[in-house]
């Protein structure tokens, strides 16, 4: 790998989930920079269009007031969220570069991620971006180069392991090689499933295509059990076990084969045939089968090679993270230990259990003695600040970002977190009614007196903005009052946290 740093935990980009509010909550829960936050995907053409709207509304002044602009309300975030990566969607290189430059101006200096993995019909179908871009790696290369020239931060790509029938390792390796050939991208976030652009919905694409973690990393686990739980055929796993055991006793220390690039793929193909077809490839003479099994056993037990010709081995200058199906600390640690990867990316389970997915703080840091009640109060204050500066953000976005904060929390009492969610929804409706009353009053004044003056319009907007901000703060605090005291007082240091530090030593 290009940089052997501590493996990281990445919050996966999710539409309508990884908003600035949810990212703020995650950063409050996990201040460690080893947790990297991703925004939801922003369409490059939408960013350009909002910028043009701002310039038009301000008489072509170029958008001098960031806080009052349409674009700011869409992409703004709190500085404490760093490191945070903005994900962009699009296929026009010039447009993507312009959008990336605007995002960097608004504070996204940690990096830009190019979406080449979304299978949504609106994105990959009609828009021909997202996962559909994997079918045109030359275009992705042009986009990456243009974006890299326009910003100072890192450029990364999020992709799948294949699309439709273009799902062989050769297709994936060609995509990675083409996109990275100019040296403008250093990391790929790989969802370890293929994408079906026709016939499966986005949610089905997250569940039906099988996970193939070994395609991303260099496999180093024992041959009788893989990370995904599958087992090689018994007919060959038993001889392999015997051979590998004998090899272990006869070699002190066990040697590590170092075949050439061609031999790597040859042995990888043999392993694949054994695993998938229960037999070595037909081009091997029968008398060589036993010897080949011995070689394959040594190869599989080596920490340098794996079942197939994998990305992390074939592209040692690049970094890779694995996404898809990661739903526990143990699985995350297992993947980092088993593969030479930069980290793991968690999405839906992060949304469902944000407190569970806290990353361990840096070595030597004091224990986090904050209670969950303090976390909620801190979030309420931050949501208040965000809404004061962004009057266009709906109340529901701010409220529901905190709805799952109790997910995965271990405590000594039986408590149903649905009460907390119900209190949030009740408060949201109340604030909505109050906001509607303010707007209705303004409408009656318009009908009675005609158009309102600019000062009166500004007064109405201020009342709506301040009422919304204060309303959300109060909603969250009122919902907290519904939570039993013993649950509120659970300390962060008493909850499990994900520790990926030092997982690559000796790998």
Closest CA to 197 of 163, 159, 171: 163
Cis preceding-peptide flag for 83 (omega within 30 of 0): yes
- Tell me how crowded residue 349 is: count the other CB atoms within 10 A of its CB: 19
User: What is residue 308's three-state secondary structure?
Assistant: coil
Angle at 111 between CA 106 and CA 117, to 5 degrees: 110
Please state the φ and ψ torsions of residue 410, each to the nearest 5 degrees: -95, 130
Decide if 273 is catalytic. no
* Beta pairing partners, 18: none
Q: Is 348 exposed, middle or buried (0-12, 13-18, 19+ CB in 10 A)?
A: middle
* Beta pairing partners, 320: 188
CA–CA gap between residue 70 and residue 54 (Å, rounded): 6
Closest CA to 11 of 506, 498, 507: 498
From 4, 103, 116, 118, the catalytic residue:
118
The secondary element (H helix, E strand) that includes residue 484 is none
SS3 content of the chain, % helix, strand, coil (to 5): 50, 10, 40
- Tell me which residues are annotated as active site: 118
């Amino acid at each position: 790998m290009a940089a052997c740093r501590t493996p990281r935990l990445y919050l996966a980009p999710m539409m309508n989930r990884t908003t600035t509010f949810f990212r703020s909550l995650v950063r409050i829960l996990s201040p460690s920079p080893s947790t990297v936050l991703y925004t939801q995907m922003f369409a490059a053409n939408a960013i350009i269009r909002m910028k043009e709207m701002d310039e038009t509304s301000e008489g072509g002044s170029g958008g001098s007031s960031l806080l009052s602009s349409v674009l700011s309300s869409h992409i703004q975030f709190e500085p404490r969220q760093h490191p945070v990566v903005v994900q962009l969607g699009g296929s026009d290189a010039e447009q993507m570069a312009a959008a990336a430059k605007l995002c960097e101006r608004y504070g996204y200096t940690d990096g830009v991620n190019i979406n080449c993995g979304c299978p949504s019909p609106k994105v990959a179908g009609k828009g021909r971006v997202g996962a559909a871009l994997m079918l045109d790696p030359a275009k992705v290369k042009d986009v990456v180069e243009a974006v890299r020239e326009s910003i100072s931060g890192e450029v990364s790509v999020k992709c799948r392991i294949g699309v439709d029938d273009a799902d062989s390792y050769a297709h994936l390796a060609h995509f990675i090689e083409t996109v990275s050939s100019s040296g403008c991208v250093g990391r790929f976030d790989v969802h370890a499933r293929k994408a079906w652009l026709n016939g499966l919905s986005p949610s089905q694409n997250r569940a039906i295509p099988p996970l193939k973690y070994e395609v991303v990393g260099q496999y180093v686990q024992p041959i009788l059990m893989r990370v995904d739980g599958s087992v090689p055929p018994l007919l060959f796993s038993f001889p392999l076990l015997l051979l590998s055991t004998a090899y272990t006793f006869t070699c002190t220390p066990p040697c590590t084969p170092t075949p050439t690039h061609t031999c790597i793929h040859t042995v990888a193909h043999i392993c694949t045939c054994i695993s998938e077809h229960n037999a070595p490839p037909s081009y091997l003479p029968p008398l060589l089968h036993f010897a080949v099994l011995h070689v394959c056993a040594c190869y599989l037990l080596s920490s340098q090679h794996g079942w197939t010709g994998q990305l992390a081995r074939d592209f040692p200058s690049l970094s890779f993270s694995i996404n898809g199906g990661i739903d526990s600390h143990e699985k995350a640690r297992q993947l980092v230990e088993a593969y030479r990867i930069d980290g793991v990316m968690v999405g839906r389970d992060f949304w469902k259990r944000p407190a569970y997915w806290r990353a361990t703080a840096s070595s030597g840091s004091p224990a986090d003695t904050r209670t969950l009640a303090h976390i909620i109060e801190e979030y309420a204050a931050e949501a208040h600040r965000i809404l004061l500066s962004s009057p266009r953000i709906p109340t529901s976005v701010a409220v529901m970002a905190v709805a799952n904060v109790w997910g995965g929390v271990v405590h000594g009492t039986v408590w149903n977190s649905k009460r907390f969610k119900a209190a949030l929804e009740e408060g949201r409706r109340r604030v909505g009614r109050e906001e509607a009353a303010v707007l209705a009053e303004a409408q009656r004044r318009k009908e009675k007196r005609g158009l309102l003056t600019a000062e009166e319009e500004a007064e109405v907007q201020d009342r709506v903005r301040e009422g919304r901000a204060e309303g959300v703060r109060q909603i969250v605090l009122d919902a907290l009052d519904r939570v039993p005291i013993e649950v509120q007082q659970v300390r962060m240091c008493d909850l499990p946290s994900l520790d990926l530090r030092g997982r690559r030593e000796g790998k």
